[in-house]
Amino acid sequence: MDLIARARQKRWHLAGHYSRPLPAPFTDALRGARALEIGGPSPCFLADGVLPLYGLVASVDGVQFATETVWHGRMDEGEYRPEGAAARGRLWIADGATLAGVPEGAFDAVVASHVIEHIANPLRALEAWRRAGRQGSWLLVVAPHGSQTFDHRRPVTTLEHMVSDHARGVGEDDLTHLEETLALHDRARDLPMTDEEFAAPRRDNPRTRLLHHHVFTTGSLLALLDHAGLEIVAVETRRPQDVYVLGRWAEAPDNAAMLARDAPWRRRSLFRADRRG
């Protein structure tokens, strides 16, 4: 990391982007909930994170797509108790895109940090996450803003594209975005590796799940969640790249104000692409 990047990160730390708690709507909604976390544990949910979820919820179960992952090493099905969690939960080894084998209607909230961009068919996944929750349950999604990551050269995924993926029943073995990723991924913003070290695990994505299938801005993420049937309650951005969205499942969500070009979250966003609308 160069000196400019180090100085930038230090400023962000001092400004509280990694530690200053999110606004009350986030914590109020999740306090005392029985939660299901897809793809955790997540640093942002620890006691010193921006949303100390593990200490807020009554319990948290976890879902991992495999017993061995790049991000967490080995995690066997059984007990799930992230650092700071108030009670033991259960870890399910299940695909986060389908939640096969995970109880339906059992949770007050589903949370997923840096997961949705790795899912080939996010609308199918959102349907599964909705089924896991009780009626009117909460969903918290944390996703990277594409303009701030190694994806910044790639086009933002359109809602129409994701709707088409859902209609065609695209599965997690889909490699539609592989060549785009190999060509446009900004390797200078990623770990040093050879061309083959970078390409091989992404070609093997059904096993590794390293690909970012989709690239989001805050607005495109909100459009996806609106289409899926989420009433959007709160939106927050944090350096260096994170978008936090909290919502509640509804039969007929009215998100017109949140999706408008003059929505207040746009003016507050830390990311220029959001403020441009």
In this predicted model, what pLDDT tens digit does every residue of 110-156 receive, in sequence order? Answer: 999 999 999 999 999 999 999 999 999 999 999 999 999 999 999 99
Give residue 11's pLDDT band: very low, low, confident or very high (50, 70, 90). Answer: low
Q: What is the mean pLDDT of residues 252-276?
A: 95
Question: What was the pLDDT predicted at 8?
Answer: 59
pLDDT for res 19:
67
* Domain spans of the chain, in order of start: 3-172+215-265
- Between 185 and 11, the more confident residue is 185
The pLDDT mean for the chain works out to: 93
pLDDT digits (tens, 9 = 90+) for 237-248: 999 999 999 999
Residue 235 DSSP code: E
CATH of domain 3-172+215-265: 3.40.50.150
pLDDT over 90 at 107, yes or no: yes
Helices assigned H by DSSP within 69-204: 122-132, 159-167, 178-184, 195-203
Percent pLDDT > 90 in the chain is 90
Q: Buried (b) or exposed (e) across 139-169, using 16+ Cβ within 10 A?
A: bbbbbbbbbbbbbbebebbeeeebeebbeee
Q: What would the mean pLDDT of 13-17 be, rounded to a whole number? A: 59
Q: pTM of the full predicted structure?
A: 0.94
Look at residue 13 in the predicted model and tell me its pLDDT: 66
Q: What pLDDT is attached to residue 86?
A: 84
